[in-house]
Amino acid sequence: MFLFLVHLGVGISLVLVWVGREAGVKFFRFNAGTAVLLIAIGFALRPQPDNPTSLYRAAIGSLVLAEAALVVYWATIGRMLARIRPALLWSAVGFGLISVTLQALDISRDAPGLMPLLTVASFLSSVALLGGACGAMVLGHWYLVVPSLDVRHLQSIVRLHIGSTLVRVLVVATAVMIAVVSWEPGVPNFERYIFSIDGIFFWQRVAFGLAGPAVLSYMTWETAK
């Protein structure tokens, strides 16, 4: 739950960089507030290992900085500090992405070969995918509030969502390929696993984590183009 909430919160803040000011103060305030709340809840639910690594401590520290910048950004939207708000938003996004990257490196620190790099790609694409999906949904409904809003804003978020979905597909395909190629006798066969009753969890991830977002991207793009 910690990773999901943090990735979603950072992803929403990332989407705010894509959207122009024409969306209005309330749009930015709503989404920034949502991101602040998600990251705060995720932080409260963070794992607390007995012997945290330096990577873990750095990840949590970066997350705190991202949250602090995002709180100030949210609190000043439409009120004050207009000149530095872009810097605050970029700082929140930057520290958030650094935190996510460090989380991935910490989790995969004992993994062999290219697995740490693959984990980083998985985490970053998760941020973009979750943020893109949530941002596209909110912005799509925001056209009811601001009918004159240029459709190019929605198109840009859909492009982000499509790109992140493609990266997720590539990451999962690479992980599957590594699992198949690195199989050794005495170790459970991956091919047998995915076609067994336990493989339902793998197919759930494919259906809801890859196929679902891909269909959503196509439908949204057809609507927005």
Non-local (6+) Cβ contacts of 175 within 8 A are 118, 122
Q: Over 70: is that where the pLDDT of 185 sits?
A: no
pLDDT at residue 183, rounded to an integer: 63
Q: Over 80: is that where the pLDDT of 114 sits?
A: no
Domains in the chain (CATH in brackets) are 2-224 (1.20.1630)
| Residue bearing the bigger pLDDT, 8 or 222 | 8
| Residue bearing the bigger pLDDT, 112 or 107 | 107
pLDDT at residue 101, rounded to an integer: 95
* Confidence band for 188, pLDDT divided at 50, 70 and 90: low
pLDDT, tens only, 43-92: 998 888 888 899 999 999 999 999 999 999 998 887 777 778 889 889 99
pLDDT at residue 184, rounded to an integer: 63
Tokens at 23, concatenated: 């969306």
Q: Over 90: is that where the pLDDT of 198 sits?
A: no
pLDDT at residue 149, rounded to an integer: 77
Distance, in Å, from the CA atom of 180 to the CA atom of 161, rounded to the nearest integer, reads 29
pLDDT, tens only, 141-152: 887 777 777 777
Tokens at 173, concatenated: 């395909």
pTM over 0.85: no
pLDDT at residue 156, rounded to an integer: 81
| Residue bearing the bigger pLDDT, 153 or 92 | 92
Average pLDDT estimate for 122-133: 87
pLDDT at residue 216, rounded to an integer: 79
pLDDT at residue 52, rounded to an integer: 87
Give Cα separations from 44 to 9, 67, 197 (angstroms). 14, 12, 35
Non-local (6+) Cβ contacts of 12 within 8 A are 31, 32, 34, 35, 38, 131, 134, 135
